Structure 1
């Protein structure tokens, strides 16, 4: 049996761990996440503990999807594509809010590492995985 530890496994595992860490922070201490994440979260509106935890649940979901994709190569294309939809939509919302002046222009840079980069990376990964995906089979998910 071929080893599952390849470049995709490592990249997907890293992204899953980052998403899981962010989710844990949002779920365990939402007030601290809101005030201390170096992305200017308070610039977007008032603190809402429930809403931060809701988003934490979304990040936990994507952490699990990316981890599943890491360990199950046959599931990579659809799971990464679904994750990319959220991250790209999230990035587009940030672009819209910054472009219309809802937040200061420094958010172009503040949002680069945590919002725009993951969206571009997951989009590129989706494109690559869909191109590399084998024909559909009755493979077990």
Structure 2
């Protein structure tokens, strides 16, 4: 079950990264709430796309090599967890609690929860 979730998260982050890299202006215009964060910046979108790609790779590695999952999940947990927490604190002034909670906060905090679960198991 956990490996399946890891692979689903890897795929979702990879798809998002590819979308951002191949069609950054479309991504910016189509993803709910993005235009509310400021004007389009291609450099910024590309940088964030690469962070999503790295997160996807780390998640995929964690799924493929369970014995290395704790190490493989560190970078995804930092970026995605930080991204999720930032949205948790920043959504109040945009008024999109439900949307951001379900589409950004929850999926981005899952790698953190998985990392801590696996880390605790490994520490026993």
Q: Write the distance in 2 (CA, Å) between the matches of 1:87 and 1:110.
A: 17
Structure that is richer in helix per residue: 2
Count of residue pairs brought into register by the alignment: 124
TM-score, normalised relative to structure 2: 0.89
**Structure 1 unmatched runs, 5+:** 1-6, 136-141
Would you say the 8 A contact 1:81–1:126 is kept in 2?
yes
SS at structure 1 position matched to 2:39: coil
The list of structure 1 runs, each at least 4 consecutive aligned residues, that deviate by more than 3 angstroms after superposition, is none
Q: Distance in 2 between matches of 1:129 and 1:40?
A: 33
Structure 1 equivalent of residue 122 of structure 2: 133
After superposition, residues 92-111 of structure 1 pair within 5 angstroms as: 92-99=85-92, 101=93, 104-105=94-95, 107-111=96-100
Structure 1 match to 2:3: 9
Taking only aligned residues, the RMSD between alpha carbons, in angstroms, comes to 1.7
Q: Which blocks of at least 5 consecutive residues in structure 2 are unaligned?
A: none
Alignment partner, residue 122 of structure 1: 111
Greater Rg over alpha carbons, structure? 1
Question: Please, what TM-score do these two structures have when normalized by structure 1?
Answer: 0.79
State how 1:71-86 maps to structure 2 within 5 Å: 71-86=64-79
Report the Cα distance in structure 1 between the residues aligned to 2:11 and 2:98, rounded to whole angstroms: 23
